Amino acid sequence: MLSLENVKRLIQRNFSENPLAWWDRNKIEATLKIKEECKYEYVRYKPIQMNMEDKKDMQIIIKEHISLGLIEPGISAYSSPGFLVRNHGEIKRGKPRLVINYQGINKILEFDGYYIASREHLIDCIKGAKVFSKFDCKSGFYQIKMENESKKFTAFSTPQGQYIWNVLPMGLANAPQIFQRKMDNLFKDYFEFMFVYIDDILIASKNMKKATIAVNKIEFLGILIDEAGIELQEHIVEKIRNFPDVLKDKKQLQSLLGVVNFAGIFIKDLAKYRKDFRPLLKETESAKWKWEEIHTQRVRELKQVCNNLPKLAIPQDEDELVVYTDANDYRWAAVLMKKTTTGEEPCRYTGGLFTEQQAQVWHINEKEFFAVWKAFKKWPLFLLAKEFTLKVDNTNVKAFLKINWNPKLRKLVLSDGKLNANIIVIILSLLNLMKMVLQIS
């Protein structure tokens, strides 16, 4: 039996306020490389001027970081500006946060293409779970040391002088990818129940026996998750609600659409509301901002829709699934449903707008095929190697998908010169994805 003293000793051996306390266990380093064509391009910015209060706070933070070994005074040909922020989180904490504007250095860094799973993909993986535990890595980036030759690229300037980072700072373009790689390597043996999004960790268990810190409802990446399904957290809806009905510029519209897209899996036929905003997103110097009544109407409609978002079910292995797809001249849409004793329950929504070229050139059959293809690509975790029902209202698409696609027939049809190149690509992709048994209705 564990006593309180034993628990304290266990914590002291494995936890520390210093992010580098246990670095020797894994010895993970971050390496930055400059693009070949930018090797002699040096990014240098002057320190940002600060008031006396900020100078004092900056001095305190610099001393703390030096004492922990996170930064050190340094000499570098590169220098990005450092400053303090006092947002809601910092005010609540009673302490400002040091931020470095690495915009200049990010432009000349070689991009790290390591894949970071989307929020939606992680949520889709938790089917069957009933008990949830959530962890946040405190000062996670600071647990990775900078490789010596890369430290010079992290240099930042303050009124107190120039400093370089000994650890991976936030704000660098590649920092999330570097950290995600570290996390994936550390927890690769637990991928079946542990889901990591940069420094947020979710453990999804099927029963209490497999969880030591367990709740039956949890907030994760803006989503409220429980055994019955997923909901959008209220603070995301509140953000949408707080936008004015009349938006003042392109930047404000992009902000609104960014939050709305975050909620996209909960919104049926989202593209229908986005269509009228497309011309405004093309605003240039020669085409000025022109907000009209139809745009105000669409904002109000989006707010109304987001005030009544459904709770989405998490499909289980034993569920009978139905995929509905549809397309018209300008947009495509799909919904994943599961059958219940009383009818059908929504699991996911998706959709999008066709490009101007696709909208003008593609036949409606191609657009309907595209909708089916996008649905299959969107939900492979639920649809691959599983029998489900596909419902489309296009007679030609329905007949085409019902054909018995033996290899000879596939080759014959796809080599037919009458078929548009676009539809060939789509059909090929569909045939590669359709390794399951389909019921077309």
Whether residue 159 is found in the same domain as residue 39: yes
Looking at the structure of the chain, the number of domains it has is: 3
In 3D, which of 113, 104, 146, 111 has the Cα closest to residue 36? Answer: 111
Please check whether residue 254 is in contact with residue 281, taking contact to mean a CB–CB distance below 8 angstroms.
Answer: yes
Q: 221 in a domain, yes or no?
A: no
Whether residue 339 is found in the same domain as residue 275: no
Give the containing element (helix H, strand E) for 242: helix 234-242
Residue 25 has pLDDT above 60, yes or no: no
SS3 sequence, 42-93? Answer: CCECCCCCCCHHHHHHHHHHHHHHHHCCCEEECCCCCEEEEEEECCHHHHHH
Average pLDDT for 391-395: 77
Contact partners, residue 54, CB within 8 Å, separation at least 6? 83, 84, 96
Whether residue 81 is found in the same domain as residue 193: yes
In 3D, which of 119, 115, 112, 118 has the Cα closest to residue 173? Answer: 112
Task: Give CA 356 to chain center in angstroms.
Answer: 26
pLDDT at 419: 44
pLDDT at 367: 86
Whether residue 282 is found in the same domain as residue 407: no
Q: Long-range CB contacts (< 8 A, 24+ apart) of 235-238?
A: 236/262, 236/263, 237/263, 237/306, 237/307, 237/309
Please check whether residue 312 is in contact with residue 224, taking contact to mean a CB–CB distance below 8 angstroms.
Answer: no
Q: 218 in a domain, yes or no?
A: no
Average pLDDT for 242-260: 91
Tell me which DSSP letter residue 150 carries. G
Q: How many helices (H) and strands (E) does the chain have?
A: 17, 18
Whether residue 347 is found in the same domain as residue 243: no
Residue 140 has pLDDT above 90, yes or no: no
Question: What length does the chain have?
Answer: 441
pLDDT at 349: 94
Q: Which of 306, 334, 369 is the endpoint of a domain?
A: 306
Please check whether residue 221 is in contact with residue 212, taking contact to mean a CB–CB distance below 8 angstroms.
Answer: no
Residue 211 has pLDDT above 70, yes or no: no
Please check whether residue 343 is in contact with residue 332, taking contact to mean a CB–CB distance below 8 angstroms.
Answer: no
Q: Which of 275, 306, 337 is the endpoint of a domain?
A: 306
Rounded Cα distance between 200 and 182, Å, is 13
Residue 363's domain comprises 321-440
Tell me the torsion sign for CA atoms 362, 364, 369, 370: positive
Q: 296 in a domain, yes or no?
A: yes
Whether residue 259 is found in the same domain as residue 329: no
- CATH number of residue 47's parent domain: 3.10.10.10
Whether residue 329 is found in the same domain as residue 423: yes
Q: 211 in a domain, yes or no?
A: no
**Which range, 78-82, 205-209, 408-412, has the best average confidence (pLDDT)?**
78-82
pLDDT class of 195 with cuts at 50, 70, 90: confident
SS3 350: strand
Please check whether residue 172 is in contact with residue 154, taking contact to mean a CB–CB distance below 8 angstroms.
Answer: yes
Please check whether residue 63 is in contact with residue 179, taking contact to mean a CB–CB distance below 8 angstroms.
Answer: no
pLDDT at 23: 54
Q: pTM, whole model, 2 decimals?
A: 0.60
Question: Among 175-179, 274-278, 392-396, which is the least confidently predicted range?
Answer: 392-396
pLDDT at 50: 85
Q: Which of 140, 169, 197 is the endpoint of a domain?
A: 197
Average pLDDT for 20-46: 78
pLDDT at 212: 41
pLDDT at 350: 93
Q: 377 in a domain, yes or no?
A: yes
**Structure tokens, 69:** 């070994």
Kindly report the average pLDDT of the chain as a whole number: 79
Residue 341 has pLDDT above 60, yes or no: yes
In 3D, which of 123, 147, 158, 142 has the Cα closest to residue 33? Answer: 147
**Structure tokens, 128:** 């069957």
What residues pair up with 162 in beta bridges, in sequence order?
A: 157
Whether residue 67 is found in the same domain as residue 128: yes
